[in-house]
C-alpha cells in the first residue's frame, strides 16, 4: 500500500479540545402536559410490549427476557416434545442442552425470541415463539425458520399462536427473508392445522420405519 505523505497523515496542529461551557438551565414549561401517559400493564412488563394481542388485546407480545422467561420456556418443552416426539424421554441432559441453546440464542442476532405476557396482572409469560434466520451453506439461500412455538394450555384457542405467526412474517420480512420453513410432527394435529391455516404447506416429507 502506498504510504501517505506525513503531512496528510497527521495534522500540523492538533485541534483544540472543546471545553464545555456552563450548561444553560433547562426551561421548564409548567403548562405542558405530562409526557408519560399511564398505560395499564406497561410498568408491569420487564420490557415494552411490541404489540397487544389476544381477546381484547390484553396480552403483550414482547422480547424474551432471560430472567423472567427462561424457566417457563424450558418447562414448556416437556409438552412440546411429548407431542412431537412421542417416543422421546425428556430428561435432565436434554433439559440442560435446551437451556444452553436458549442462552446462546439471545447472544445471536440471527435469532429472535418473543414472549406472550399477560401484562397488567403481573407479567406472567404464557407463550413464545423462537425465530431463526438460516442460510443454506450449499446454495446460500436465506430463509426463516420457526424453531419453536408454544401457547400455554389455558390461553389456547384465542388465536395467540396465529398472532405469533403473523408477527414472525413481519420480523422475517424486515430481514429481507421471503421463504419460511418449519418442522412439525404429523401426529401433532393442532399444530399441523395451525400452520396450514397460516399458509404453510407440505413441501418435503421426512420418512421413517421401525426395523
Ligand X SMILES: CC(C)(COP(=O)(O)OP(=O)(O)OC[C@H]1O[C@@H](n2cnc3c(N)ncnc32)[C@H](O)[C@@H]1OP(=O)(O)O)[C@@H](O)C(=O)NCCC(=O)NCCS
Smaller CB separation from ligand X, 46 or 162: 162
Q: How far is CA 69 from each of CA 43, 52, 76, 92, rounded to the nearest angstrom?
A: 17, 18, 11, 19
Smaller CB separation from ligand X, 84 or 169: 84
Lay out the site mask for ligand X across 152-191 (x = CB under 6 A, - = otherwise).
Answer: ----xxxxxxx---------------------x---xxxx
CA distance 7 to 173: 48
Rounded least distance, CB 24 to ligand X, Å:
54
Which range, of 44-52, 66-74, 102-110, 150-158, touches ligand X by CB under 6 A? 150-158
CA distance 175 to 79: 31
Can you tell me which of 83, 95, 106, 134 binds ligand X, judged by CB under 6 A?
83
Smaller CB separation from ligand X, 122 or 157: 157
CA distance 204 to 182: 11
CA distance 139 to 82: 34
Rounded least distance, CB 53 to ligand X, Å:
10
Which range, of 11-19, 26-34, 56-64, 148-156, touches ligand X by CB under 6 A? 148-156
Per CB under 6 A, does 80 bind ligand X?
yes
Lay out the site mask for ligand X across 91-130 (x = CB under 6 A, - = otherwise).
Answer: ----------------------------------------
The x, y and z cell numbers of residue 82, run together, are 411429548
Rounded least distance, CB 129 to ligand X, Å:
9
CA distance 208 to 184: 14
Smaller CB separation from ligand X, 171 or 200: 200
191 Cβ contact list (under 8 Å, min separation 6): 83, 84, 149, 184, 185
Go through 163-193 and write b for each residue having 16 or more CB atoms within 10 A of its CB, e for each that does not.
bbbebbeebbeeeebeebeeebeeebeebee
CA distance 184 to 37: 43
- Residues lying near ligand X in the complex (CB under 6 A) are found at 79-80, 83-84, 149-151, 156-162, 184, 188-191, 193-194, 197
Amino acid at each position: 500500500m502506498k504510504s501517505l505523505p506525513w503531512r496528510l497523515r497527521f495534522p500540523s496542529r492538533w485541534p483544540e479540545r472543546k471545553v464545555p461551557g456552563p450548561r444553560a438551565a433547562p426551561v421548564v414549561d409548567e403548562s405542558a402536559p405530562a409526557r408519560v401517559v399511564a398505560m395499564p400493564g406497561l410498568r408491569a412488563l420487564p420490557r415494552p410490549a411490541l404489540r397487544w394481542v389476544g381477546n381484547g388485546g390484553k396480552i403483550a407480545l414482547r422480547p424474551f427476557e432471560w430472567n423472567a422467561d427462561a424457566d417457563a420456556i424450558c418447562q414448556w418443552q416437556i409438552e412440546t416434545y411429548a407431542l412431537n416426539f412421542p417416543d422421546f424421554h425428556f430428561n435432565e441432559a436434554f433439559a440442560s442442552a435446551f437451556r444452553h441453546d436458549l442462552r446462546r440464542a439471545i447472544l445471536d442476532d440471527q435469532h429472535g425470541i418473543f414472549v406472550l405476557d399477560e401484562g397488567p396482572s403481573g407479567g406472567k409469560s404464557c407463550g413464545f415463539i423462537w425465530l431463526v434466520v438460516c442460510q443454506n451453506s450449499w446454495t446460500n439461500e436465506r430463509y426463516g425458520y420457526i424453531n419453536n412455538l408454544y401457547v400455554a394450555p389455558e390461553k389456547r384457542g384465542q388465536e395467540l399462536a396465529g398472532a405469533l405467526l403473523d408477527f414472525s412474517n413481519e420480523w422475517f420480512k424486515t430481514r429481507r427473508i421471503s421463504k419460511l420453513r418449519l418442522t412439525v410432527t404429523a401426529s401433532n394435529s393442532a399444530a399441523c392445522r395451525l400452520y396450514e391455516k397460516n399458509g404453510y404447506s407440505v413441501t418435503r416429507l421426512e420418512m421413517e420405519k421401525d426395523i
